[in-house]
Amino acid sequence: MLQEPKNYEVIVVDDGSIDGTKEHLGSLNLPIRIISVDHSGISKVRNIGIKNAMGQYVAFLDSDDLWLPGILKEQLDYLKSHPGIPLAYTDQYIEVDGNKLEKTRFQATNMSDERKRRFNLPGFVQLTPIHISSVMVKKSIFDQMGYFNEDLKIHEDTEMWNRVSEKYELGFINIPLTIFRWEKDKEHILKPELRGLFIAEGRKYMKIYEERREQKGLTGEEKRAIEESYRRIDELEKLVGLRRSEAITEEEFHEKREELFK
C-alpha cells in the first residue's frame, strides 16, 4: 500500500484459504477488494483477478512474495514510454528462509538482449527468467492473446508469457524490485510429493507449446529446443525415480537437477 502512484486498486482473490486471510484483510480498513473462490486453481484465480480489474494495467503479487518500493512506478513509466511493449518485468532478489540474498535470481549478464525480450523457446519451462510477481502487463493483451491456460496447474505463467512473446517484445527493468520468497522445506517444484506433478505438467506444457508452434511452422532451432526440453524432463523423471528408490541422496538429487537445468 506504500506504492506510487496512488491511483491503483488492490484485488485479493482468496482461493479457499483457511488461515483467516479474508477476515484479517477485512479488518484493516484499507481499500482492498476481496473476491472469494473455492479451490479453483492458480490459473482460474489469476483470470478472475484480471477480469475484475478496472485499470488499463495489471500487476501480479503472489501471497508469498514481496514488492519493493517503486516497482509500480518503474513498470508504469516503462510501459508508457514504450507503447509497443505490452509487458514489463523486473529483476529480483531471492529470500531463502528469511534471508535475502544479494544475488538476484535473474542474471542479466547470462542472457542476450534478444533472449530477455523473446523467450519463446520451450527450455524456459525449467528456467524462465520471468517471475510473475515482477510483471506488469497491459490488460488489453489478455483480450488479444487469451488468458492463463486453466488446464495447467503449474507453468501457467510461462505459457502465457510465451504466447505474448511470440508477437511482442517484452520489457526488462534491470533493477531488483521483487523479493521471491521460499523456505527450503517448502520448495514447490522440489518438494518430493510434487515432483511427479512437475514432470507431468512440464510435458503438458511442452505439448501445448509444440502444437501451437506447429500451426505456424517450427524452425529447426525450435525443433531442437523442443527435443532438448523433452530430454531434460525425461532425465528429471529418472532422477526422481532414483531418489524415490534411495539410490541417490536428497543432496545428490538437487546437485544433479541443478546440473541438468543449468
pLDDT above 90 (res 85): yes
DSSP 39: S
**What's the confidence (pLDDT) of residue 76?**
96
Close Cβ partners of 226 (under 8 Å, ≥ 6 residues apart): 122, 206, 209, 210, 213, 218
**What's the confidence (pLDDT) of residue 109?**
45
**What's the confidence (pLDDT) of residue 63?**
84
Cell of 218: 517450427
**What's the confidence (pLDDT) of residue 101?**
67
Whether the link from the prior residue into 5 is cis, omega within 30° of 0, is yes
Strands 10-15 and 87-96: unpaired
Closest CA to 144 of 194, 71, 86: 86
Q: Could you report the per-residue pLDDT of 44-76, keeping only the tens digit for each?
A: 999 999 999 999 999 999 988 999 999 999 999
SS3 109: helix
Cell of 137: 502487463
Q: Could you report the per-residue pLDDT of 180-235, keeping only the tens digit for each?
A: 876 655 445 556 778 888 889 889 988 888 888 888 788 887 788 888 888 888 99
Q: Could you report the per-residue pLDDT of 9-39, keeping only the tens digit for each?
A: 889 998 877 677 777 777 776 778 889 888 8
**What's the confidence (pLDDT) of residue 118?**
46
For 172-189, the DSSP string reads EEEEEEEEEEE-GGG-TT
pLDDT above 90 (res 104): no
Closest CA to 158 of 113, 182, 126: 126
Residue type, 261: F
Q: Could you report the per-residue pLDDT of 110-164, keeping only the tens digit for each?
A: 444 555 444 445 455 555 668 899 999 999 999 999 999 999 988 899 889 888 9
**What's the confidence (pLDDT) of residue 61?**
93
pTM exceeds cut of 0.95: no
b/e map 240-255, b = 16+ CB within 10 Å: beebeeeebeeeebee
Say which residue, 106 or 261, is predicted with more confidence: 261
